[in-house]
C-alpha cells in the first residue's frame, strides 16, 4: 500500500488520539502505575440515536435510545438511556443506574450493568 491509500486511515488515528488525549483522566505515577479516581456517575447527553433494529441479545429492548454521555469529570461514555418519560434531548442531565442489560440465552443468567436515566430531582424542586 502506498501512503495515499493509508492517508485517510492515518488521519483518523491521529484525530482519535488527539480526541482521547483531551479527555485522558488516568495519570501515570512515578512507579509506572496509574492513579485512579471515582466518577460521580452524573453527566449530560452529548448526542444520541434511537436503535430500531437491535442485536439479537438485546432485541427485547428495541427501540431504545443509545447516548454519548459526557460525564461531569470529563470522559465520555456510550450507554443506553432508560426510564425516559419522553424523547431524550441533547443537554439533558442524566445519572448512572444499574439495570438489566440482557439474559444469557444458553444459561438464563441475567446480566446487569450501567445505563443512564434522567437525573432525579428532590420533590418540590
pLDDT in tens, 40-95: 889 999 999 988 877 776 667 778 888 999 999 888 899 999 999 999 999 999 99
pLDDT-based confidence at 122, cuts 50/70/90?
Answer: confident
Whether 102 is covered by a domain: the verdict is yes
Whether 125 is covered by a domain: the verdict is no
pLDDT value of position 63: 85
> Do residues 62 and 51 lie in contact, with contact meaning Cβ atoms separated by under 8 Å?
yes
Number of domains, the chain: 2
* Of residues 31 and 94, more confidently modeled: 94
pLDDT value of position 39: 82
Report d(CA 118, CA 48) in Å as an integer. Answer: 14
* Cβ-Cβ contacts under 8 Å for 85 (sequence gap 6 or more): 118
pLDDT-based confidence at 120, cuts 50/70/90?
Answer: confident
Per-position b or e across 11-46, b if 16+ CB within 10 A of its CB? eeeeeeeeeeeeeeeeeeeeeeeeeeeeeebebbbe
**Domain containing 52 — which CATH number?**
2.40.50
Tally of CB atoms within 10 A around 7: 10
pLDDT value of position 88: 94
Domain span holding position 26: 3-34
Amino acid at each position: 500500500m502506498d501512503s495515499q491509500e493509508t492517508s485517510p486511515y492515518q488521519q483518523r488515528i491521529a484525530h482519535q488520539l488527539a480526541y482521547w488525549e483531551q479527555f485522558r483522566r488516568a495519570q501515570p505515577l512515578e512507579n509506572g502505575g496509574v492513579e485512579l479516581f471515582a466518577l460521580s456517575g452524573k453527566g449530560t447527553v452529548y448526542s444520541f440515536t434511537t436503535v430500531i433494529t437491535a442485536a439479537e441479545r438485546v432485541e427485547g429492548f428495541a427501540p431504545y435510545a443509545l447516548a454519548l454521555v459526557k460525564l461531569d469529570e470529563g470522559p465520555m461514555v456510550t450507554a443506553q438511556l432508560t426510564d425516559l418519560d419522553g424523547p431524550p434531548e441533547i443537554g439533558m442531565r442524566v445519572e448512572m443506574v444499574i439495570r438489566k442489560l440482557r439474559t444469557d440465552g444458553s444459561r438464563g443468567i441475567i446480566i446487569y450493568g450501567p445505563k443512564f436515566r434522567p437525573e432525579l430531582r428532590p420533590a418540590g424542586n
